[in-house]
Structure 1
Amino acid sequence: MKWRDDSAISDGSIDNMDLSGGYYDAGDNVKFGLPMAFTTTMLSWSVLEFGDSMGDDLQHTQEAIRWATNYLLKATSTPGVIYVQVGEPNADHQCWERPEDMDTPRNVYKVDSEHPGSDVAAETAAALAAASIVFKTSDASYSQTLIKRALQVFDFADKYRGSYSDSLPSAVCPFYCSYSGYQDELLWGASWLQKATEDASYANYIVSNAQSLGLSNSDNVLSWDQKHGGAKILLARQALFNKVGSFKQFRYLGDNVVCSLLSAKHTPGGLFHGDNDQSNMQYVTSTTFLLFTYAKYLRASNQVARCGNNQFTADSIRGLAKRQIDYILGENPLGMSYMVGYSTKFPQHIHHRGSSLPSKSQHPGKIGCNDGFSEGLKNNGPNPNVLVGAIVGGPDFNDQFRDDRNDYSHSEPTTYINAPLVGCLAALA
């Protein structure tokens, strides 16, 4: 990205911490810990399932993961404290600035024993644990650092239970409130720790707490907020391959997730679309990843998914997943690729500050908070900088897309839309 430059390199200094690095979640300039950790977990899961198909991009994916985990290690370096956000979101959203010009407050927000955040802490533990498996053979020392920290962070999440939305309401809401609570993250985090360590204590924890953590409920979604769908697929894998004897009872969970997706609502053109029209593509890429992943498990174990009296093979499930990716890349009623920079027709007016404003090489002078609105957000022209590869929020219920920079729910790209897509594309490769 030649049009990007250093930004926020003094993050954390307000609290005598180094919190530089990491990722902004979307088109804004705030580092939100919950979606960043989920993005990291999904990038790592993509490598673990489909890294063999990534070719030279495997190294690039590992570099992207390490950029995030280096930040998460810094954010968890103080025992009993986790830094979960950098940037004052209300002030940030009242400005339209390139990250390189940022002059809004870079407040830091943290959770601790008196102000718990089990959801963000357990997701951070999941990210560190998943990444530890990614680097297990290529960088054993780094892998050990990651898993050791993951264990500490999960213990903190479990011991001091509570939602970070209750501890930091004005900072994280309405941006990334933990609407689903923290139980799903505890289940998700424990599932990744069990996979990374193969320690029986985590298997016992999952079996003992399955009911209270909502494993048997009907929630089969996977997103930055909701983890039950992903946890069910992880646990079903262990049952399919008899990895953990006590997990045999979880075999049906994978089928339940797939069956709910097979009967999910679609747009007339065939895209998964739930009742929520806010950045729907995040659910498309994550649930499609689950389909590819479970199909892989079924094929390897020579089994099928059972939905009532119907059976679905691995190939049929892969076929459904492939149709979702084909839609994203242009096989849809508008002939629109929802990946920026891919194909001949793609979104030109994405809701992204750096993309919508001229780069520093083209405009060396500072573009102020208010000036950015007229030069960027409200400018009718296409974005001067193409954010190649970014997936936007996508079309509405009727396959329509306005390509309007002000329509952030459809035109804004996010890291957690892209991360699961990495695995999907590798599965097809």
Structure 2
Amino acid sequence: MWDFSTEPEYREKLDWAREFVHTEVRDLEVLGVDRDTLLRLEEPLKQKVKDAGLWAAHLPPQLGGGGLGQVKLALLHEILGQAFYASEVFGNMAPDSGNAELIAVGATEEQRERWLYPLLDGTLRSAFSMTEPGAGADPTLLTTRAVRDGDHWVINGHKWYTSNGPSADFLIVMAVTDPEAAPHRRASMFVVPKGTPGVRMLRTIGTMAEPCQHHLNWSTGDSEIRYEDVTVPADHLIGQPGEGFLLAQKRLGPGRIHHCMRWIGMMRRAFDMMCERSLSRYTHGSLLSEKQSVQNYIADSAAQMHAARLMTLHAAWTIDQVGASRARTEIAMIKYFGSRALFDVVDRAIQVHGSLGYSTDLPLELMFRQARSFSIVDGPDEVHRVTVARRTLRGYQAREVPTEHIPTRATGARERFAEALEALSLNH
């Protein structure tokens, strides 16, 4: 029996979060201020979240989080998805939230003191440096190397699309430490402070969501980086050598639940705007809400949104029951289904708003550009479909079809059909 219910005390917290996001956090989107000013304006809002007991809710209580479990987290992230800066204000901003989970799982207490707790306090920012040119979505193709040299590791390689690279105080770098090991035991994770000699920030990468390389009002961008004889102490290794893939999976599994629920929150915002527009825009003799094509948009969007929400909550519930490793099919499924649903809902909302939806006067155009990226980030949708197909097929066995009988059965069917037609014509 699936159960997505929560106790009354937590529902009150969700009600508070919903009101807070709608009345205070959304206001940050229209100010048009630079990044430093934005961070200063966020500080009192972050304190309110901490006072409400919802700061960094994805972490266990001993690390300053809520220890909520995935269903409760999913319901919170659904609310956070309705405002662009809400995740940051609630201490759940990617990639910091995933990096915090990674450090919490794999780091020593000394490493937590140095990196995790300042990250949770918001005094440090982090970056995740895994993707490489040529490797794409296959981490077994990584070529960045880390070689042990006495009490240090020396890192050399080229990373592409390092999340949050421009503003990070430290980077978590995935590098091959044993090229002869099995594919998923070759790599390890390292903490590399930003100012370490040999860390070359080549550029900030412009994207569809951030066509200008230094956007004022969204995220801090992604970097292309070269690591040239970057030397870090041995105690900057997270976990044990060869655990890089294991740590990456622990980081990404629950994180995808949070992403998908934030997408549902974004869908809800776009959906609400579409419905309100349809009831207020009069054209060609009637309201948009009275036109069948718009009604189809609304009905299809409601169905996709509802399905994505239930699938994501079920995946969260499954993690709570049996752990992320046994919920891989559910996690993979919601990633590609949710990203497609978000794209479709936002696209329809823009169409209903016409030129207004295409303009920057509304947040829909930014939602659309963000939505397009979600089919790529956290693993391309095609990779997740392969995961679902392979894991589904494990429950089946091949069966041989007795091909020698197919012509006989087909011929018999044709003969019976011809006899039926003949009888029908005689009766008439």
TM range (shorter): under 0.3
Larger Rg: 2
Using the size of structure 1 for normalisation, the TM-score is: 0.26
Higher relative contact order (CA 8 A, sep 6+): 1
Higher share in strand: 2
